[in-house]
Amino acid sequence: MRLNQLSLRAAGVIDHIEALSTHDAIAQRLGELGFVPGEPVKVIAFGPLGGDPMAVEIGFTRFALRRSEAHRIVLRDNTAATAPSCAAQPHEQAAPAAPSPSASTADSSSHQAPVAGPLA
C-alpha cells in the first residue's frame, strides 16, 4: 500500500521511498524530511478539490504532499491494522473545558475541539 491510498485519519508505517531514477531529487528530499523506513505516518487532511494536496503527520511535524509525491512512499504490509498511531498533539488530547456554573447552555458551543482543515 502507498501513502496516497490511506484514508483520512488512517495511519501506516513507512517501508521505503520508491525513487523513479538514481538521482530522484523528490525521493531524496522526502528522506531528508523524515519519511524514512519504520517511521509512523498519519493522514490528517485532504485538499478541497480532488484531495490534492494531502496533509500528513510524522511525529510532531505536519507536511502537505501532492498525491504524486505521496505515491512514492510505500507502506509496510497490513500497516493499517498494526501501525502504531502517530504521537497525538497535546491539544488533540485535551478535554474541553468544563463550563462554569453560571454559563448558559447556549454558550456550550464555544467549548468544541478545533477541527483540522486543509493546509493553505
What one-character DSSP code corresponds to residue 105? G
Residues 6+ apart with CB under 8 A from 67: 4, 51, 52, 53, 54
Global pTM? 0.64
Backbone angles phi, psi at 14, to 5 degrees: -70, 130
- Of all residues in the chain, what percent carry a pLDDT higher than 90? 60
3-88 homologous superfamily: Ferrous iron transport protein A (FeoA) (2.30.30.90)
Mean pLDDT of 13-28: 95
d(CA 61, CA 99): 32
| pLDDT for 49 | 81
| pLDDT for 92 | 41
